[in-house]
Amino acid sequence: QSALTQPASVSGSPGQSITISCTGTSSDIGRYNYVSWYQQRPGKAPKLMVYGVSDRPSGVSNRFSASKSGNTASLTISGLQAEDEADYYCSSYTSGSTLFVFGTGTQVTVL
């Protein structure tokens, strides 16, 4: 099971919106509505930002929104803030014996 494909880096200025893509296959993103997104700051554990394609856990800002089309999922951060600087990973449930696959990760930089 190969990792989901994400851009290595995305950047934006404060207040702008950015979108991170996550491309999988018909065996993971394309088959299930079980895409989640995680934010990870250096030296810290990942933090769940979105689950079930587009649902936000309690406490996560509504500046984070997500969607899916076909084999590709997307995370949009609107009103970019300095605190959003981090690595972001997508994940999907899969039909293979490896039940979950993560994305390659995207480093978000706030200019």
Cβ proximity to other proteins: between 16 and 109 the closer is 109
CB of 104 to other proteins, least distance (A): 6
Q: Which amino acid is at 67?
A: S
CB of 86 to other proteins, least distance (A): 13
Cβ proximity to other proteins: between 44 and 79 the closer is 44
CB of 93 to other proteins, least distance (A): 5
3-class SS shares of the chain: helix, strand, coil, % to 5:
5, 50, 50
Cα angle for residues 17, 22, 60 (degrees, 5° grid) = 55
Separation CA 38–CA 17 (nearest Å): 18
CB of 68 to other proteins, least distance (A): 13
Cβ proximity to other proteins: between 17 and 95 the closer is 95
Residue reference for tokens 């390659």: 104
The binding site for other proteins (CB under 8 A) comprises 1, 3, 32, 34, 36, 38, 40, 45-48, 51-52, 55, 57-58, 89, 91, 93, 97-105
CA nearest 72: which of 108, 110, 20? 20
